[in-house]
Chains A and B, each alone.
Chain A
Amino acid sequence: MTTPDHEDVRVAVRKLCEKFPGEYWRALDRDRAYPQEFVAALTESGFLAALIPEDFGGAGLKLSAAAAILEEIHRAGGNGGACHAQMYMMGTLLRHGSDAQKQRYLPQIAAGSVRLQAFGVTEPTSGTDTTSIRTFAARDGDSYVVNGQKVWTSRAEHSDLMLLLARTTPPEQVAKRGDGLSVFILDMRTAVGLTIRPIRTMMNHATTEVFFDNTRIPSENLIGEEGRGLRYILSGMNAERILIAAECVGDAKWLIDKATTYARDRVVFGRPIGQNQGIQFPIARAYANVRAAELMVREACRLFEAGENCGAEANMAKMLAADASNEAANVCLQTHGGFGFAEDFDVERKFRETRLYQVAPISTNLILAYLAEHVLGLPRSY
């Protein structure tokens, strides 16, 4: 039997998260440190293997279960960003990898003994325009030689493998600009000529820049066919957007809870501040917006699980949920007045953390551009 909305999974995740309270995340935030213990607990209890088929040692659950897990982590004030990619990045391998590649990597990823949670796409000079990336993988015998640079490669220091998108045919030699890109599994444990440098950001997010200097990747680590890589990663990006949307829903709910509790308890001018419409209306509006976003997340999950095209819904879910969590963060901070700025309340931390999702993994403008072009049939603007 299955329980509606994965309630049984949610209960267990909540329980796990109780062991990692605000103090835990606050201390890590101060030092910009990786949540080793939290990630270990999630790994050991199998949650990060939710989407891996049972044949490869995972739980074989659908995307909505992974969404429930990540939503609950954020709902509890935690942050799944340190390890969410371990859940979905293997999707590209699962859908487009060879049997040998799957046999080799998936069981270890499911067990957590190997981490595949670094995704090398963005480059300093290409920005959102993925097809203009310059990192080049040149075929040389039975391997590829990679040269170039990635930026914002999150978790590279905490991952064994990287899913790397690189050009394998120069842009002027391909018919469509999306052609000539390939996806590789780069084993960072043994890679030579690889330099990883952490980038300090406004929130605790283990992100880095990565340099490739004649880094060799055996050709058996090419996923699918050479030159078709963009297609392979696009399907995975829908999953990523939906799951990050679920995290934003969790953030928004946590922030609204926090705001509501404070508004009820804080007495100024002889009454709870939450008795003032000026305080309660913004919270109520944020609540309505997160509920609406949640419905879009569910719809996107439904389409994804049915194997239907969910590009528009995945993008809308991500945008609406990120907007809702950003609004909730703003409202929560405002409701707390000066105390919202004190680190001990965790509000300013969440405010910083959830702000990221206006930009990564895809910025709001690009989602709107996508909808305008692909759903509304307006001329392509970019």
Chain B
Amino acid sequence: MKILVPVKRVVDYNVKVRVKSDGTGVETNGVKMSMNPFDEIAVEEAVRLKEKGIATEIVAVSLGIPACAETIRTALAMGADRGILVETDVELQPLAVAKLLAAIAAKEQPGLMILGKQAIDDDMSATGQMLAAFLGWPQGTFASQLTFADGGITVKREVDGGMETVALSLPAVITTDLRLNEPRYASLPNIMKARKKPIETLKPADLGVDPTPRLKVLKVVEPAKRKAGVKVADVAELVMKLRTEAKVI
């Protein structure tokens, strides 16, 4: 079975993001970028499936500026076999990404697509679901455990209030939750091997997709700063302040 794993280049999770002074987005200039952590989990899962003999080939896909090739390279060093870079300067939104991935799926015919449940930059949590809809495939989102049996797949998913188990037929779309696995770091020999693995470069037009954004970002602002608290002398003062200042009781 071939597995396709999309990987997104995002601001590293350790970086404290800053809003650009003109309010059009967040500062990415000179900022450390990494693979979206949920996508790392997706790559790790695919590599484990290959190690178990369930997967035969892993294709890492990234969409965006040429630097996204670095993110693919990271996936290759973790154990993916080859990469596809869909190169574009256009700001990509989940709908466009889902369409592009669906077009790649049509070309590659994978048995499984494993995505992160969300990207930590825009937190949309939409691409996997839209992709499954475009392809008409079953989806197992927020997966924390995958079990393969009888040509299908059982997915334990994290939902509000507990765990839900769903059984899917293949091909299917999976999105990963944090607890699915702990991703490995690449070893130096594998990084060296990855340097020799092929990355194919495509343009959105090659896939017949117009990636132009449908949503317009009006303004990006810093979250409101938390105001300093006040100390109260006793319960009476607290109740008084809640009533007269906070006006909540």
Contacts and interface: CB of A to CB of B under 8 A. Distances in A.
Interface of A: 1-3, 7-9, 11-12, 14-16, 19, 44-47, 49-50, 59, 61, 261, 264
A8 B16 contact: no
User: Which 3 residue pairs are nearest across A and B when measured between Cβ atoms?
Assistant: A46-B188, A15-B185, A45-B187
A283 B187 CA distance: 35
Contacts of A46: 187-189
Contacts of B70: 3, 7-8, 11
B74 A59 contact: no
Contacts of A8: 70, 73-74, 77, 186, 191, 194-195
Given A11-B34, A15-B183, A15-B185, 8 more contacts: A3-B195, A8-B77, A8-B186, A12-B187, A15-B186, A46-B187, A46-B189, A264-B16
B10 to A, nearest CB: 13
Given A3-B70, A7-B70, A261-B16, A12 B195 contact: no
B195 A16 contact: no
B202 interface: no
B188 A50 contact: yes
Nearest to A76: B14
A9 B188 contact: yes
A12 B192 CA distance: 12
A254 to B, nearest CB: 12
13 contacts: A1-B196, A3-B70, A3-B73, A3-B195, A7-B73, A8-B73, A9-B188, A12-B74, A45-B187, A46-B187, A46-B189, A47-B188, A59-B188
Contacts of A61: 188, 192
Interface residues of B, number: 17
A133 B74 CA distance: 48
A12 B189 contact: no
Nearest to A45: B187
A19 B184 CA distance: 10
Contacts of A19: 185
Contacts of A16: 185
Contacts of A12: 74, 77, 185-188, 191
B212 to A, nearest CB: 30
Contacts of A47: 187-188
A96 to B, nearest CB: 25
A264 B18 CA distance: 11
A328 to B, nearest CB: 17
Contact of A9 (B16, B183, B191, B196): B191
B70 to A, nearest CB: 6
A1 B72 CA distance: 14
A124 B183 CA distance: 48
A14 B195 CA distance: 18
Interface string B168-191: 000000000000000101111101
A61 B192 CA distance: 9
B8 to A, nearest CB: 15
A2 B195 CA distance: 6
A45 B188 contact: yes
A264 B73 CA distance: 34
Interface-central residue, B185, B187, B194, B196, by most chain A CB under 10 Å = B185
B188 A44 contact: no
Interface string B181-223: 0010111110110111000000000000000000000000000
Nearest to B73: A8
Nearest to A12: B186
A250 to B, nearest CB: 14
